[in-house]
Amino acid sequence: MTVAVQRLNHSARDALLAHFLALPTEDRRLRFGSSLSSDGVAAYVDKIDLDRDGVFAVHDDQLALAGVAHVAFGDDHAELGLSVLPAHRGHGVGSALFERASAHAQNRRVRRLFMHCLKENAPIMRIARRFGMDIVTDIGVADAQLALPPASPASITGEFITDRFAFYDYALKAHVAGWKRINPALLGAAAAPGQGQAA
């Protein structure tokens, strides 16, 4: 099954905050490298430069953010942070986010993609190994890096097609979610006794 990954804009800050706050305490510690408070998470979200950085998400059927990738750009490199809610793990969400984020970095002429995490962060370590990243571990932490190929017409076209697919996937989910909200109300109205009928 193909996992649709959509790039987020400024209107998604509240959804981003809700996603990070929905991470269990231990998962939040692994994502940020320390046990950030709710205020600390809010400050992190407020500081994300959504014009310069790339922030990508997988939406669930209720349009909540099931997984998020944040690509922060440096001069000649990019650093990637990933998080996936527990209920959505094991379905390719993390891998889809990684692929989308690395394609975005590649097409912006970034030469290397980095991930920094706690060594005990097993899901991120698995993703790093799956995509052939070079991993260096130290006491308690791990740094992974991946050399990115130059951008090409194929990679740029691929990113465009991926974005179009994500747009249509989101629109479909929005329609289905809307139908689910109004359908019970319509069914309830149809089942209710008629109004204004003679006794």
Chain segment 83-128, per-residue pLDDT in tens:
999 999 999 999 999 999 999 999 999 999 999 999 999 999 999 9
Enclosing domain of residue 108: 6-174
Provide the edge-to-edge strand list for the sheet that holds 134-137.
Answer: 6-7, 54-59, 65-73, 77-84, 112-118, 141-147, 134-137
Cross-strand partners of 73: 78
Structure tokens at 185: 């109300």
Domain with 50 in it: what CATH number? Answer: 3.40.630.30
Asked if the structure places residue 90 within a domain, the reply is yes
- Whether 65 is covered by a domain: the verdict is yes
**Which 3 state secondary structure label does DSSP give 144?**
strand
Apex 127 CA angle, 124 and 132, nearest 5: 130
- The three-class DSSP label of residue 135 is strand
Strands (E), the chain: 6-7, 54-59, 65-73, 77-84, 112-118, 134-137, 141-147
Does 23 reside within a domain? yes
Task: Flag whether 193 is in a domain.
Answer: no
Number of H helices, E strands in the chain: 6, 7
Q: Judge residue 118's burial from the number of C-beta atoms within 10 Å of its C-beta, 0-12 exposed, 13-18 middle, 19 or more buried.
A: middle
Position 132 in a domain: yes
173-178-179-180 Cα dihedral, nearest 10 degrees: 90
* pLDDT for res 147: 95
**pLDDT tens string 162-193:** 999 989 988 888 888 788 777 665 545 555 55
Residue 185 lies in a domain: no
Domains in the chain, number: 1
With respect to residue 183, please indicate whether it lies within any of the assigned structural domains. Answer: no
Asked if residue 93 lies in contact with residue 122, where contact means CB atoms within 8 angstroms, the answer is no
Secondary structure of residue 141 in the 3-state scheme: strand
Give tens-digit pLDDT for 18-52: 999 999 999 999 999 888 899 999 999 999 999 99
pLDDT of res. 199: 36
Q: Is residue 195 part of a domain?
A: no
